[in-house]
Amino acid sequence: MYLRPVHFVDAPMAYPDGAVARLAGGMQWFAAYEATDGDERRIVPVAEIGKFGERAALLHERITSPRAPLSLGERVVRLDQPQVVGILNVTPDSFSDGGAHVDDPAGAAAAGTDMLAAGAALVDVGAESTRPGAALVWEGDEVRRALPVVERLVRAGAAVSIDTRKAPVMEATLAAGAHLVNDVSALLWDDRAAGVVARAGCPVVLMHSPDPDKGGHGRVAYRDVVGEVFAWLEARIEAVAAAGVDRSRILIDPGIGFGKSLADNLALLNGLAALHGLGCPIMLGASRKRLIGALSNEVAATERLPGSLTLALKGAEAGVQLLRVHDVGETVQALRVWRGLRDRALVGG
């Protein structure tokens, strides 16, 4: 069973007590759930969800509980509003920006500080492409690419995440001051990864991947992509918590574009709010993804800003806390306008 918040409302003060609920302590309020249990779906008012048993009560508690802020070095990132994570690839072959900062740590770090100045809360450094068909990078080369960039950004006071699936890369960059691990394999690719994260006590993003040991792009025939991604992530959260990672430090990512068809991706984006039932902050990485090209006459990856902004705002509407994007300044501006509209709605009128 899982619950998807629906019937979002602009002015919660206009409803009787208990008729609406706040989504994950954020800026969205809703009046009902779409409850899915096997093949059965029904709309349930928020006020009646307690009648549907312990599972429903647990999911409701997770969905409505505020998400604690992230303490990342000198920075505290609040999760009661959507925040922007800037993508900083130091690879020769990433799908939209490969080669932009290869063998130029100073230039890459400068690009990262520009993201912070434009409003990013966090800079996500990646030194291995995860696009379909990308070559595996030896961990030593990955450390060589990422480490000097992480070191420079940390010295500049940035909050830094390391986008990697390899334990040695995690160890080296965390020792250099990185604050968060973002793993597209949900700590499944490297047997040592969960232990490294547990010992470091750092936050970690677990991304859904249908075949994490093979790169994440194996195609699966989903019957209910939202429910299956939910169940997979729920199992990974429990396993990672059992391995010693504090549950409060676990974030999740639905893995848009990883082993999913266009129809799967669209269904998952429309069902994003259900993932709050996992009780963890959500990171959405849909910037410049293939689905935008598929819906836009195969426009090039570097020309997908309008589609990327549309998906970022879709995430904000669904209560997503972290939006991982290439175009930081433009996304920050879009979110500021969105937040202005929400602020005005929440005070009435």
Give CB contacts under 8 A, 24+ apart, made by 263-266: 264/222, 264/225, 265/289, 265/291, 266/291
Q: Which residues of 263-274 are buried (b: 16+ CB within 10 A; e: fewer)?
A: ebbbbbbebbbb
Q: Which is the catalytic residue, given 249, 290, 304, 324?
A: 324
Instruction: Specify whether 152 is catalytic.
Output: no
How much is the pTM? Answer: 0.95
Average pLDDT (321-335) is 98
Burial of 228 (0-12, 13-18, 19+ CB in 10 A): middle
User: Among 11, 36, 38, which Cα is nearest to 22's?
Assistant: 11
pLDDT band, very low/low/confident/very high, at 215 (cuts 50, 70, 90) = low
What residue segments make up the domains of the chain, in order of their start?
A: 2-64, 70-346
Whole-number Å distance between alpha carbons of 152 and 167: 21
Whole-number Å distance between alpha carbons of 89 and 96: 10
Burial of 17 (0-12, 13-18, 19+ CB in 10 A): exposed
* CATH superfamily to which 70-346 belongs: Dihydropteroate synthase-like (3.20.20.20)
What is the token pair recorded at 316? 């904000």
Instruction: Specify whether 51 is catalytic.
Output: no
Q: Which of 20-29, 126-135, 205-214, 309-318 has the lowest mean pLDDT?
A: 126-135
Quote the pLDDT of residue 138: 85
DSSP string, 250-311: EEEE--TTSS--HHHHHHHHHTGGGGGGG-S-BEE--TT-HHHHHTTTT--GGG-HHHHHHH
Number of Cβ atoms within 10 Å of the Cβ of 244: 12
Average pLDDT (331-335) is 98
Q: Which is the catalytic residue, given 249, 289, 304, 342?
A: 289
Residue 230 identity: F
Quote the pLDDT of residue 59: 98
User: Among 53, 70, 34, 52, which Cα is nearest to 318's?
Assistant: 34
Quote the pLDDT of residue 96: 61
Whole-number Å distance between alpha carbons of 349 and 341: 10
